[in-house]
Amino acid sequence: MRLQELVTKLDYSLMSGSVDTEVTGITPDSRAVVPGGLFIAIKGAMSDGHQYVKSAIENGASSIIIQDGFEACLEEVPEDITVLKTNDTRLALAYASASFYGNPADKLFTIGITGTKGKTTTTYMIKSVLESCGIKTGLIGTIETIIGDTSIPAKNTTPESIKIHESFAKMVEAGCRAVVMEVSSQGLKLHRTAGITFDIGVFTNLAPDHIGPDEHESFQEYMECKAKLFSQCRLGIVNGDDEHVEDIIKGCTCSIEKFGLNPSNDIYASCVNLFHERGRIGLTYQCNGLCSFPVEVNLPGLFTVYNSLCAIAVTRHLDVQEEHIKQALLSVKVKGRMELVKVSDSFSVMIDYAHNAMALESILADLRQYKPNRLICVFGCGGNRSKDRRFEMGKISGDMADITVITSDNPRYENPEDIISDIESAVIKTGGKYVKITDRGEAIKYAISIGQPGDIIIIAGKGHEDYQEIQGVRYPMDERTLVSDAVKALKEEGVEGLI
C-alpha cells in the first residue's frame, strides 16, 4: 500500500522523499519495524519515539512520520527516506492504521462504552445478548480481547489504535458482525479511537478517578475526555440519572437516548427487588419505556440494574428478541466482576476486582443492601503504589465489613508484611474485627471455613488477574483456583456444608 493512501485524512508536510513510497507495515515501536515499514514516532509519558528514528531506519523503515517540533531527530536521516511532519503523531497512527487494515470498523456494528464504572460488565452483557441470538460479536476491554474463539489477555483497557484496527480486521475475518469495546478516558485523550465513528456510544457514569500526573490533570479534563466519545458516534445511550450526564452530552453530535431509574428516562427500571438465597445472589426488576418486560440478573447491586438496562437499551437497536435479552441477562457472568463462585448453599462467595477505596466502598455498600448475616471482606493492597490506598481501604473495610481478612495482593518490590501492617493500622482505628493472613490462599481458606448461613464473603482486589507479582516476577495465581483448593482442603478436614 502506498503511503499516500494511509495519510489521506492527515494534515502533514512532506520533508523528504515521496508519498508514493510503498508501505509494508506500520508501527510506533522501532523494534517492530519491518523492511519497507512506516515508523510513526510518538512522544509518550515514559519514552519518546523520536529518539528511535535512527534505530527504526536501521531496522528497515522506508518512511517516517514525526511530530512538529521534533525536527532535531532528522539530523542523521538519509535523503532517500520519506519523512512526513504532522502536529499530532497519535492521530497519524490512528488514521494510518485504519487505512492499512482496510477500515474494518466500517464493516462492523461498533459499540463503544465509556464511564468510570460498569464498562467491563456491560460489555460482556451486550456480547452475551447479541450472541444469544446469533450475532457473532467481538470484544475489546480491560480483561481481554475476544476474536471468535480466541481470547487475548489485555494490557490496556483501550489498546493502541493500531491494535484496535488489527483486532477489528481479524474480527471481520472471523465472521463477526458486531464489536463492543471499552473506551477509556485515557484512550480518548490519546486518540486511540480517532477516526472510528461508533454506531452506538455509551456513557455509564462518572466519578473522580484516574486523576494524577500520568493520567488526567483534573476532574474537568477527565470529564471532557469522556465526552469526546459523543462527537464520534451516531447514537449516544447514556445514564440519565448521573449528575454529570448533561456535561457529558453537551455539544454532542449524535442523537441521545437515556436509561436509568427515573421514569423520565427513555428506558427505566421499576419494582427493583434484591434476593439472596441458597448461595445465590441477584435482583429482579421491571423494564419500562421503549422496552417493557421483567428482568432477572444473577449479579448483585444497584449498579447491575444500570448495567443491564444499558445492555437492553443498546441491543434493542439490533432487533434482538425480548426472550433472548432476558435469557442472556439471566446467565451472564463476568470473570472477576462480582463473580459468584458456588461453594455452599448456605452462604455466598464472590470475587471482584475492587482494588481502590471507591470501588471497595461501592461494593460493600451494595452487598449491605442484601442484609447478610455477616459481610466478610478479604483484601490486600498492591506494593509500590500510593500508601494512602492502604489506609483508605482499611478504614472502609473496618467500618463496613463485619470481619476483615487482611492478606497479600501484588506486593511487587515491597515486603507484604509492611503493606499488611499499614492496612491493619487503619482497621484498628475503626474497631472492626480482623485477622491477618499473609498467604492469599490461606486467607481465602480461612474466610470460607468460618462461613455461616446467610454470610456473604467478598474476595477483593485481584478479580480477573491470574498472577501474583513478587519481586518483579509474576507467579500464576487464580482466585477461582484458590477457592476450589480451599474447598477441597476443608472438605478433607471434615468441614460440612461445602459443595
> In the numeric block, which cell numbers belong to residue 442?
490461606
**Strands 82-86 and 178-182, sheet pairing:** unpaired
Cβ–Cβ under 8 Å, residues 92 and 63: no
Cβ–Cβ under 8 Å, residues 187 and 215: no
Residue 205 DSSP SS3: coil
Round the CA-based radius of gyration of the chain to a whole number and report it.
25
Q: Which fold has domain 339-492?
A: Protein-Tyrosine Phosphatase; Chain A (3.90.190)
List, in order, residues 6 or more apart from 106 with CB less than 8 Å away: none
146 forms bridges with which residues in the sheet?
139, 151
Give me the pLDDT at residue 220, please.
86
Q: What is the pTM of this model?
A: 0.91
Q: What is the mean pLDDT of residues 471-491?
A: 97
List, in order, residues 6 or more apart from 464 with CB less than 8 Å away: 142, 143, 335, 336, 337, 353
467 forms bridges with which residues in the sheet?
476
Give me the pLDDT at residue 217, please.
67
Length of the chain: 499
406 forms bridges with which residues in the sheet?
379, 436
Q: Which CATH superfamily is domain 104-331 in?
A: Mur-like, catalytic domain (3.40.1190.10)
The per-residue pLDDT for range 305-323, each reduced to its tens digit, is 999 999 999 999 999 999 9
Give me the pLDDT at residue 212, please.
52
The per-residue pLDDT for range 177-227, each reduced to its tens digit, is 999 999 999 899 999 999 999 999 999 999 865 445 556 568 888 899 999
The per-residue pLDDT for range 81-132, each reduced to its tens digit, is 999 999 999 999 999 999 999 999 999 999 999 998 889 999 999 999 999 9
Q: What is the mean pLDDT of residues 332-341?
A: 93
Cβ–Cβ under 8 Å, residues 398 and 427: yes
Element (H, E) at 470: strand 467-470
Question: What's the sign of the alpha-carbon dihedral 408, 414, 417, 418?
Answer: negative
CATH code at 3-100: 3.40.1390.10
Give me the pLDDT at residue 155, please.
87
Give me the pLDDT at residue 38, please.
98
The per-residue pLDDT for range 426-440, each reduced to its tens digit, is 999 999 999 999 999
Specify the residue for cell string 475503626: 430
Give me the pLDDT at residue 216, please.
56
Give me the pLDDT at residue 371, please.
95
Same CATH topology for 104-331 and 339-492?
Answer: no
The per-residue pLDDT for range 118-154, each reduced to its tens digit, is 899 999 999 999 999 899 999 999 999 999 999 999 9
The burial class, CB within 10 Å (0-12 / 13-18 / 19+), for 134 is exposed
List, in order, residues 6 or more apart from 446 with CB less than 8 Å away: 405, 435, 437
Q: What is the mean pLDDT of residues 373-396?
A: 96
Map out the domains of the chain as residue ranges. 3-100, 104-331, 339-492
List, in order, residues 6 or more apart from 32 with CB less than 8 Å away: none
Nearest to 145 by CA among 129, 124, 125, 130: 124
Output the average pLDDT for the chain: 95
> In the numeric block, which cell numbers belong to residue 412?
511487587
Rounded-to-integer distance, Cα 1 and Cα 8, Å:
13
Cβ–Cβ under 8 Å, residues 288 and 268: yes
